[in-house]
């Protein structure tokens, strides 16, 4: 069982979970994903690893409620557990030094999977420019995290409520 250590609703229907998964956190790399199953009857849900902390043994997931399985996941609270949590899966992103200037673009919930790639590029010594988008300022996610690892951050919102109008 994999315990939910933190649950936060970032905006209506979009959730941030920190999950206790030390073995997965130990091996996770930018661009990989996990597959989870909430309970015995639940279907398998693939989610990109939005962040990981090797020391704390945690994996961060960001997901949007779009159907019965993600609604069931969203109904779980801090302290409760997820039945199955498999990963890291998939080929990690190619990260190396001296790649020059890297532009990372994410819109809406898509900012979450871009973050670990941008962070790894930054840690490798590359210049990182991040372009973030959302429908409105209220649903823009990971701005502070992206600012911390980017040399420059550009923001666009569909309604023009923050940054430039997209």
User: How high is the pLDDT of residue 146?
Assistant: 96
User: How high is the pLDDT of residue 2?
Assistant: 94
Domain ranges of the chain: 2-89, 101-165
pLDDT band at 69 (very low <50, low <70, confident <90, very high): very high
pLDDT tens digits for 8-48? 998 888 999 999 999 999 999 999 999 999 988 889 999 99
User: How high is the pLDDT of residue 148?
Assistant: 97
Reported as type and span, the H/E element at residue 113 is: helix 111-123
| The CATH fold of domain 101-165 | Rossmann fold (3.40.50)
Matching fold, domains 2-89 and 101-165: no
User: DSSP secondary-structure letter at 93?
Assistant: P
Asked if residue 164 has pLDDT above 90, the reply is: no
Residue 22 main-chain phi, psi, to 5 deg: -60, -35
Superfamily (CATH) of domain 2-89? Translation factors (2.40.30.10)
User: How high is the pLDDT of residue 25?
Assistant: 97
User: How high is the pLDDT of residue 23?
Assistant: 96
pLDDT tens digits for 85-143? 999 999 999 999 889 999 999 999 999 999 999 999 999 999 999 999 999 998 899 99
pLDDT band at 163 (very low <50, low <70, confident <90, very high): confident
What is the average per-residue pLDDT within 44-68? 95
> Of 22, 42, 4, which Cα lies nearest the Cα of 87?
22
Is the sign of the CA dihedral 19, 23, 26, 29 positive or negative? negative
User: DSSP secondary-structure letter at 44?
Assistant: P
């Amino acid at each position: 069982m994999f315990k939910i250590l933190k649950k936060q609703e970032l905006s209506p229907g979009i959730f941030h979970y920190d999950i206790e998964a030390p073995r997965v956190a130990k091996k996770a790399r930018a661009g990989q994903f996990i597959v989870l199953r909430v309970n015995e009857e639940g279907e398998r849900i693939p989610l990109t690893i939005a962040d990981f902390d090797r020391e704390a043994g945690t994996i961060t997931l960001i997901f949007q409620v779009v159907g019965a399985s993600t609604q069931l996941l969203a109904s779980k609270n801090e302290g409760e557990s997820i039945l199955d949590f498999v990963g890291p899966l998939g080929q990690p992103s190619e990260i190396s030094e001296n790649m020059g200037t890297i532009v990372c673009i994410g819109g809406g919930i898509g900012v979450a999977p871009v973050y670990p790639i941008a962070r790894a590029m930054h840690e490798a010594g590359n210049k990182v420019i991040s372009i973030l988008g959302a429908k409105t300022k209220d649903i823009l996610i990971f701005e502070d995290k992206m600012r911390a690892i980017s040399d420059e951050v550009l923001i666009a919102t569909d309604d023009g409520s923050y940054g430039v109008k997209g």
